Amino acid sequence: MDNRLSGRPPAWAAKIAAVRDVGVWDTNLLRCIATGALASALMACGSDANTPADNCEDGDNCETSDGTSGGSGDSGDATGSGEDGAQAGDIPCEVQEVLAANCTGCHSDPVKFGATMPLASIEHFRVPAVTDPTVSVADLTLARMVGTDRPMPADSSLSDGDRGIIEAWIAAGMPGEDAGECEGVADDGDDPWGPDTLPCEPDQLFLAHNNGTDEGFNVPEVSDLYQCFAFDSPFTDKTQGIAWAPVIDDERVVHHWLLLRGDETTQTGTFPCSAISLDAPMIMGWAPGTPNFIMPDEAGLELPGPGEKIILQIHYNNSAGHTDAIDSSGVAMCTTEEPREHAAGTLWLGSLQIDVPAGGTQDVVSDCDTSRLDEPVHMLLSWPHMHELGSAISTELIRANGAGSEMLADVPAWNFYNQVYYPHLPAVVIEPGDILRTTCSYDNTTGQTVNFGEGTGDEMCFDFSIVYPITAFDVPNPFGPAELGRYCVDFGEDIPFP
């Protein structure tokens, strides 16, 4: 396929323009993500935005939002439910606050980012669960908030105190109260995101589309789809990315996306693809809650040059079965032809030394020793990755000067279906000699030994980290030669890649 990006085809430009035209959409969407969609925030997402009409075509979401808890339904069509909708039957403020901080960024009404159902009214908790109608959403909520099997939220960020508040409320039979506008639920203080909030004019767009057309991608009704969209790189050898913004079109079904680097062997067009492949290193990505990314003035992001490809990989989750999901999500990017002082790129941390016995467990620890560096490096993002038998993963920064250690990423209960990444803003400075220790834990529930590999039945242990200057790593590392400096990965005997 031709590179259809730099020309900015009218249909896509229109999409971007549409996003820009409703500036309120970005602001409110962010607020919804940051604070959840209850009370006034719910109305901000539901009424002021241009999105509900689309979302409501689906039917389910509209019905549930209208049928909420007796009270909020009638005020649901007015903008000020917070002010005039204070009626008996709202979720108590204390609980709303917890849901807003932990759940309704995704479980809003309508839902976002692949979440299965809303958690925005008492009724939403009472109805049968989508994936298991023999239990209520409330029961499934109790189950998913504890335990290590696919915890909610996926980054295990729910505190015991917050969990206790939801548990106690459900145990008490989910009583309603005349909540009105709850303090602490709406939060206006966050920065908005989206292309029109970038400090620069985006000059590149990489968006989902159907093969050979500019139209949005028809998202099938499946729960986990990794779909790749490959584009010929429009960039020169000198081009760097300086800022980018997510374009989230059908937010009901977009779970997260990654921008990957492909070469001339990469398939063209649009195709289903595996979660991560060694042939396609990560450039950067987006997950719910991640705002625009603006590189510090001294650094620019390395991008694929002439002859290479850019792959937009979107993880869709349409387990709710929306039949009208057509998506043009992706990224809007500002680039420069005048390279900045430092190039940023992806440092791979982790190990291939995975050997989990049948029915057993293994902790794989790999230390990336940075004493070979002759200058500090700045880390902007961590993105841990394992497959389905992973149970926990973390990267710890251990200071050389005895100044202790800090966690750069910590996922105590790994959920393959809900991979989270961790921006570091401001950047974490790594001094030469510091150790980056990545630990991957596996629980092998199968009857075979499991080793490293790219198949779904194989395992991986990586933490893709965006750092600058990435060139600082172009020196031999404890694990391999200079050309593999950016792969601070315990390869073992053989070096199977890149």
Chain residues in the site for ligand HEC (CB under 6 A): 102-103, 105-107, 113-117, 129-131, 140-141, 144-145, 150, 152-153, 158, 255, 288, 317, 417-418
The distance of closest approach from Cβ of residue 4 to ligand HEC in the complex, given in angstroms and rounded to an integer, is 30
CB of 137 to ligand HEC, least distance (A): 6
Closest CA to 52 of 105, 106, 104, 110: 110
Helix (H, G, I), strand (E, B) or coil at 435: strand
C-beta closer to ligand HEC: residue 346 or 419 = 419
Nearer to ligand HEC, 153 or 304 (CB): 153
Amino acid at 96: Q
- For residues 4-26, b (16+ Cβ closer than 10 Å) or e, as one string? bbeeeeeebeebbeebeebeebb
Rounded to the nearest 10 degrees, the angle between the axes of helix 23-35 and helix 10-21 is: 70
User: Which lies closer to ligand HEC via its Cβ, residue 115 or residue 198?
Assistant: 115
Tokens matching residue 88 = 């008996």
Nearest to 65 by CA among 131, 124, 130, 137: 124
Which of residues 266 and 313 has its CB atom nearest to ligand HEC in the complex?
A: 313
Instruction: Kindly tell me which of 97 and 181 has the beta carbon lying closer to ligand HEC.
Output: 97
Taking the complex as a whole, the smallest distance from the CB of residue 166 to ligand HEC amounts, in Å, to 6
Q: Is 433 helix (H, G, I), strand (E, B) or coil?
A: coil
Q: How far is the CB of 412 from ligand HEC (least distance, A)?
A: 15
Half-sphere exposure of 58 (CA within 13 A, CB side): 24
- Residue number with CB closer to ligand HEC (158 or 380): 158
CA distance 55 to 104: 16
- Calculate Rg over the CA atoms of the chain: 23
Minimum Å gap between C-beta 359 and ligand HEC is 25
97: amino acid identity, one letter: E
Nearer Cβ to ligand HEC (347/420): 420
**Shortest distance, position 93 Cβ to ligand HEC, whole Å:** 16
Nearest-approach distance from CB 324 to ligand HEC, in angstroms? 19
Q: What's the N-to-C CA distance of the chain in angstroms? A: 26
The dihedral formed by the CA atoms of 159, 161, 166 and 167, expressed in degrees to the nearest 10: 110
Residue 61: other Cβ atoms inside 10 A:
22
Nearer to ligand HEC, 145 or 373 (CB): 145
Q: Output the CA–CA distances (angstroms, integers) from residue 287 to 70, 223, 246, 433, in the order listed.
A: 34, 17, 9, 31
State the minimum distance, in angstroms, from the CB of residue 98 to ligand HEC: 7
